Amino acid sequence: MKKILLLSLFLLACQTSPIESDLPLIDEPETTTFFTSTVEVALVALGDGTAAGDGIIGCGDRVQMVEKDVSSNSKAGKIKAALESLFAIEGSDYGESGLYNALYQSDVTVDSVILTSSDTESAAVEVTLSGSIVSGGTCDDPRIEEQIIQTIKANAPVGSTVVATIDGKDLHEYFTLSGL
């Protein structure tokens, strides 16, 4: 009998009754585990490579990073969100910036991003992609590859090694073997 009485008192104490008020209701934003952060996405500055050397891709082009705001909840999530932002850019021109998006005809999905270590000396990032890459030709092949790789590297721990695959093939081999 004592247990039933204690349980009844407990249940009564747990019940809440609505409080009436003349104050207007305020919509409070839902809290989530995600946070907004800035990522870098690689685009192409066409013909910006005046001389052969580091950073020259495609047909004398250079990669140029742009910032995007994304929601992510981890380092791997940040890399995934950066790639998704890159793949979501519509059209070959990035606004009026003069930058080019060689991926504009492609339909690529990020299947997974695995960050094997956050230690900058041994960090490794494994990215698995799927979908179809449509290239505009021999100049676009290295542009596409570098847009993906540089987007990953820009958002990974400094000095990370990057392994990216698309449909089970190493990204570099995809362009070497596909004849795109």
Question: 146-161, pLDDT tens digit by residue?
Answer: 999 999 999 999 889 9
Within a domain: 138: yes
C-alpha to C-alpha distance for 32 and 68, rounded to whole angstroms? 20
Residue 24 has pLDDT above 70, yes or no: no
More confident residue, 87 or 35: 87
Of the listed ranges 46-60, 119-133, 155-169, the one predicted with least confidence: 46-60
Within a domain: 48: yes
Within a domain: 94: yes
Question: Which of the four pLDDT bands, split at 50, 70 and 90, describes residue 137?
Answer: confident
Within a domain: 115: yes
Q: Which domain holds residue 161?
A: 35-178
Within a domain: 19: no
More confident residue, 117 or 58: 58
Q: Counting beta carbons within 10 angstroms of the beta carbon of residue 139, is it exposed (0 to 12), middle (13 to 18) or buried (19 or more)?
A: middle
Mean pLDDT taken over the chain = 81
Which pLDDT belongs to residue 88?
96
* Ramachandran angles phi, psi of 76, nearest 5°: -65, -35
Which pLDDT belongs to residue 116?
87
Within a domain: 123: yes
Within a domain: 160: yes
Q: Are 147 and 86 in contact (CB under 8 A)?
A: yes
Match 């179809």 to its residue by tokens. Answer: 132
Number of structural domains in the chain: 1
pTM of the entire predicted model: 0.76
Within a domain: 20: no
